[in-house]
Amino acid sequence: MIMHIDMDAFFAAVEQLDHPELAGKVLVVGGASGRGVVAAASYAARRYGIHSAMPMFMAKQRCPHLTIVPPRKARYGEVSRAVMAILHRYSPVVEQVSIDEAYLDAAGCGRLFGPPKTMARLIKSEIRNQVSLTCSIGVAPLKFLAKVASDLNKPDGLTVIPPERVTGLIGSLPVEKVPGVGRQALGQLNRLGIVHLGDVCRYAPALLVERLGKFGHRLVDLAHGRDDTHVIAHAPAKSISSERTLPADTQHRDRLRQHLLAQSQDVGRQLRRQGYLARTITLKLKQSDFKQITRSTTLEHPSQSSETIFRTGVGLLDRQPLGTPIRLIGIGASTLIADTTPQQVSLFETADPTAKGWETVDRVVDRIADRFGQSAVHRGSLQPPDDMAMD
């Protein structure tokens, strides 16, 4: 049996934990500007139809007395690590898939913790006692059904799908509840008359692949109760990125560079904390007409230096014509390798001679931020001049 553990309204719940006066309020976490979006919504906010990724102006329309708090990534990461530490006490095979959810393989754990339902209750109790938050857990013989089950009785839910119920549940499962079915795929399925996952069995696999690409193959397997995906412990990160929707569309390159500097520091800090070097740096831009542009380059020497990431991103930005104002900018690092991986030393000195100095600065800044908070120290160039205060 596989478990899917999903923290309930995680960001909002952490804010209410740290600030008891917010308990019960219609609360969202996100940017308060007109261009901001909802990162997380409390259950009180969800009763107004407010949900994550909703534009903040729309959330305010639905609830004029909405309480908005800015996100605190470092604090959420701290609580997440505490939750994951609890899960690892119950099984050596834990796959964290986001900051607030993970899969756990319960195979072989019965002698220590009892049957899966008893084990799930123990996990929920320990998270509540140690972290003072609630989670919802789904237990099923198939990985995708464990995720479906964790969402059935939120918040603070526990749902077990025994093997004998799998076929019946698949037949009646609304197709929009299947992990991986997004808006476009749902439209294609509905046009075929597919409303429940079991309806997929009525169609030739070739037709579904024609309409949905590779995902058509997976949908056929799921409809027949086949899911070969396993819980993978310590799955390596594929990429680390940071992006922001701007308060106002702009073609002002200095403003865009300033956002890149803050984002590069964030990405570099995450790389160093997780122990990765990046080979590829990617600049992401979204224009006011919502056209998305990405530009990537491969570093000669893999790096986790914030300064290297920033300089590389600025180089990509400087080569990009800005004929249309920009509404979103981001920087990403990918093709990651462990920072313990031996590196080939060049016979000739080609690396930036200042890189080592910046790496030392990064480590010092990281230690200060860990002790006193990320706002305790920042680059002087991140202090906005008067004409950029709106950013």
Contact status, residue 331 vs residue 263, Cβ threshold 8 Å: yes
CA nearest neighbour of 196 among 204, 206, 186? 186
Report how far residue 198's alpha carbon sits from residue 297's, in angstroms, rounded to the nearest whole number.
45
Report how far residue 356's alpha carbon sits from residue 378's, in angstroms, rounded to the nearest whole number.
19
Residue 6 is labelled as binding a ligand: yes
Contact status, residue 262 vs residue 382, Cβ threshold 8 Å: yes
Q: Token digits for 10? A: 């995680």
CA angle 331, 337, 341 (to 5 degrees): 140
> Which DSSP helix (H) or strand (E) runs through 222?
helix 214-223
Report how far residue 220's alpha carbon sits from residue 211's, in angstroms, rounded to the nearest whole number.
13
Residue 387 is labelled as binding a ligand: no
Beta-bridge mates of residue 105:
2
Beta-bridge mates of residue 8:
none
Q: Residue 314, SS3?
A: helix
Residues taking part in catalysis: 101
Residues contacting 328, CB < 8 A, separation 6+? 243, 244, 245, 246, 284, 285, 286
For the annotated binding site for Mg(2+), the residues are: 6, 100
For the annotated binding site, the residues are: 6, 100
